[in-house]
Amino acid sequence: MTVQQEAIRMINSMPDDTVGVLVEFLKRTMANDSRFDDGRVEGKTQIQRPGRKLGIADGMYRIPDSIDACNNEIASMFGVSE
């Protein structure tokens, strides 16, 4: 038995709602895979995945040259003597 025949056998034994979930999953998976760009996926939609956006607070905060500049102030907040 081929893999395709086994898959069809399994799908035929599934309830319709489960098959629907499987079909939706396959459509989404195949829509984002360039190996399936030959038009065989009916209702194929491209799903936009958000890119990683770094630096969303650009310019909103000043980054100090040294993170040790406030050590004494922080120590006093916690009651630690110098």
In this prediction, what percent of the chain has a pLDDT beyond 90?
10
Say if residue 74's pLDDT is above 70: yes
Mean pLDDT, the chain, whole residue set: 76
Say if residue 63's pLDDT is above 80: no
Tell me the C-alpha distance between 13 and 35, whole Å. 28
DSSP state for residue 45 in the 8-state scheme: -
- Residues with Cβ within 8 Å of 44's Cβ and at least 6 positions away in sequence, in order, are 27, 30, 31, 36
- Tell me how far the alpha carbon of residue 36 is from its chain's centroid: 20
Tell me the pLDDT tens digit for each residue of 39-59.
555 555 555 555 665 666 767
Q: What is the predicted pLDDT for the residue at 48?
A: 56
